[in-house]
Structure 1
Amino acid sequence: MRRTPVAVALLVAATLALASCGSSDRLDPDPDDAPPPSSAGGAAGEPGGSGDPGTGGGPTSVPVLPDDLEDAAALADLAALAEQEAGRAPRALDGPIVGGDISWPQCPRGMGIPERRTLGLPMPLPTARFVVMGLTNGPAFFPNPCLAEQVAWVRERGLLAGAYAVASYPDERTLAAYADEGPFDGGEEHDELRNVGYQQALFNITEMRRAGLPAPMVWVDVEPVRDWEWSADLEANAAVVEGLQRAYLDQGYEIGIYSTPSLWAAAVGDLALGVPEWRAAGPTSRAEALERCGADWVVQGGPAAMGQWVQGGRDLNVTCPGAEAEVLGWFHPF
């Protein structure tokens, strides 16, 4: 069928606009196949707590186009839809951008595992433009018990939504359960631990998708984990983090690192991933958090992304100078 130039232009505009608002189609493992939590007890630190400082949505929907594209009414509808959807596309952000992070401590009191009962701490300030949500109830394989409610809170306010998850060293039972469950075949030392890290990440991805959090990046929190302490073997600890990174990348997610130089070195030595860094400043100030964006505070060889400080019972965050252009690659705009 012959199409007029106007019809073709409108069709292209409408199709591009619709495609731009669809989410990426990543591999979706069956949530029922997620590894079960370890039965061992324990706890892990959370951003701000150390003092040292279903996602991805579904496939893009394809518009059903009318048979006769030369019909004036149909063309008008397509043009209007294209304009509407184009207006919803996220625009570049000016910085610095201020936000917050939350996890199990912000859940209503009395939830969670015995070692990490939730605290009912305050949610982010009204000035927050982004919120990074923790996927775990402390250590790996234990989910944040109110993640779905926190995602709904962020969605209702139209904020940028992000995700982070604590990395932790496995106990003997967890290691035995997942040592052979992953892409690492034992050809290298510590491959069993890499497989455990891989399963930690798959567990986190499943929880994120169940809660409806389509964040494009997961920040890996590496710090002391009380009751799930890192081992004395830094290379073994690093293998867990390497496995985590592999799983996130395999599933189409980028990663960043949350830590400080001293906490990172104490846990995984000189492991250098070169990924974006979310740097903790502890109970200090916004000025100190921005100071952490400097070259003196490099954690693992990656660029400075955000600084975090604790104030008034909240974890507050600010993007590092020059990082604004990357923000939409870290968060999902609700």
Structure 2
Amino acid sequence: MLVLLACWAFAAIVGLAGAPGAAAAPAKGGSATPVGNDVSWPQCNKLLPTGQAFGIVGVNGGLANNTNPCLADQLAWAQQSSGGTGQPLVALYVNTANPGTAGSWWPISNQYGGTTVNNPYGTCEGAPDEACAYMYGYAKAYDDVHLRGVGNPTVYLWWLDVETGNTWSDDQVANRADLEGMTAYFQSIGARVGLYSTSSQWGQIVGQVPAGSNLNPLPSWLAGARTLNGAKNNCASAPLTPGGRVTLTQFVSRGFDYDYSCI
């Protein structure tokens, strides 16, 4: 993640690649609790943990509009996961952002990928408003599915990595629309979607999510813990959205992100 998933893994919250190797296991206090790992571009060519219960791989290279250069190797690593939790053996996460017209690309219509998108915010005409933010998110999700080299994209749970390290609007409704557009595209292909953040970052970027939003029922993956016990305790924290549920938490140990399944 920009840098919550592999920046928190170097400080606490965005990835890995190269040939899998043995990395130090987290301190578990003698517990046999199964945990997973999330990895992405910062771990390219580094030794990866072994024996992980599940693996979550970053699709992007730190920004919503690029690709993790080690994606294939990291997916192969994740597929060796041992299981034993309520999480899928392999999941993905994608960077998110709402750069507006300051970005390298910004939509000017409701058309993308050869489709006229049903936009709940109206017609995008190139302004940095909710309608175009929705289209931007939709387009980034479309690109993640079609341009990043992910085979069988419908089978994965796609986590949306929402962090203040990426570029966001001051308009929380536009930011929410952006994430709703991403969610709508992933769900349109039959894929599952979840939300990754901390409560403070989510509150700053998105704020309150209304009941009618497609973000409302999505599961939450909470970052911010420093230990396995802290991650376990975070399972009882409030989800990012009122209709969601905390199903996964993250902690950092010895330079790697570890993840505890709450289900």
- With structure 1 as the length reference, what TM-score do the two structures score? 0.60
Q: 2:100 touches 2:133 (CA, 8 Å); kept in 1?
A: no
> What residue number does 1:235 align with?
173
Unmatched 5+ residue regions in structure 2?
A: 14-31, 84-88, 124-128, 211-215
Shift, 1:212, TM fit: 6.2
Pair 178,220 (structure 1): closer, same or farther in 2 beyond 3 Å: farther
Residue 130 of structure 1 pairs with residue 54 of structure 2: yes
Deviations 1:246-294 (A, max 9, x none): 0011011010111111111101111252211111124x10000111111
1:154 pairs with 2:78:
yes
Residues 1:199 and 2:139 are matched in the alignment: yes
In 2, the alpha carbon distance for the partners of 1:239 and 1:213 equals 23
Aligned equivalents of 1:311, 1:145: Cα separation in 2: 24
Match of 2:197 among 259, 281, 285: 259
The residue aligned with 1:144 is 68
Between 1 and 2, higher relative CO (CA 8 Å, sep ≥ 6) is seen in 1
Counterpart Cα distance in 2 of 1:147 and 1:139: 14
Name 2:260's counterpart in structure 1. Answer: 318
Distance 2:133 2:79 in 1: 36
Deviations 1:173-209 (A, max 9, x none): 4114676435145626611111110011111112465
- State the distance in 1 between where 2:155 and 2:42 align: 21
* Corresponding letter in the other structure for 2:179: V
Instruction: Give the structure 2 partner of residue 47 of structure 1.
Output: 5
Report sequence identity in percent.
Answer: 27
Q: Confirm or deny: 8 A CA contact 2:99 2:169 kept in the other structure.
A: no
Contact 2:168–2:175 at 8 Å: present in 1 too?
A: yes
Partner residue in 2 for 1:307: 249
Cα offsets for 1:203-241 (capped at 9, x unmatched): 111246545666431011111134xx2111111111100
Q: What amino acid does structure 2 have at the position aligned with 1:44?
A: L
| Conservation of the 8 A alpha-carbon contact between 2:145 and 2:153 | no
> Could you tell me how far apart the structure 1 residues matched to 2:80 and 2:12 are?
33
Higher normalized strand content (fraction of residues): 2
- Please tell me the residue identity of whatever aligns with 1:222: V
Please say if residues 154 and 190 of structure 2, whose CA atoms lie closer than 8 Å, have aligned partners that are also in contact. no
For 1:244, the equivalent position in structure 2 comes to 182
Give the aligned residue type for 2:122: G
**Is 1:276 paired with 2:216?**
no
1:174 matched to 2:132: no
Q: How many residues align?
A: 221
- Letter of the aligned partner of 1:170 in structure 2? P
* Preserved CA contact (<8 Å) 1:290 1:307: yes
Tell me how far apart the structure 2 counterparts of residues 213 and 313 of structure 1 sit (CA, whole Å).
29
C-alpha root-mean-square deviation of aligned residues, in Å? 2.6
Structure 1 portions without partners, runs of 5+: 1-42, 54-94, 109-119, 324-334
Aligned with residue 298 of structure 1, among 211, 232, 239: 239
2:117 equivalent among 176, 183, 188? 183
Q: CA deviation at 1:106?
A: 1.1
Could you tell me whether the CA contact under 8 Å between 1:178 and 1:196 is conserved in 2? no
Distance 1:52 1:146 in 2: 21
SS at match of 2:105: helix
Residues 103, 262 of structure 1: alpha-carbon distance in 2 compared, 3 angstrom cutoff: same
Q: Is the 8 A contact 1:178 1:199 kept in 2?
A: no
Q: Distance in 2 between matches of 1:156 and 1:131?
A: 9
Q: How far apart, CA to CA, are the structure 1 residues paired with 2:109 and 2:78?
A: 34
Computing the radius of gyration from Cα coordinates, the structure with the larger value is 1
1:104 maps to amino acid: W
Give the AA of the match of 1:256: G
| Pair 1:209–1:170, CA change in 2 (3 A) | same
The alignment status of 1:98 with 2:43, answered yes or no, reads: no
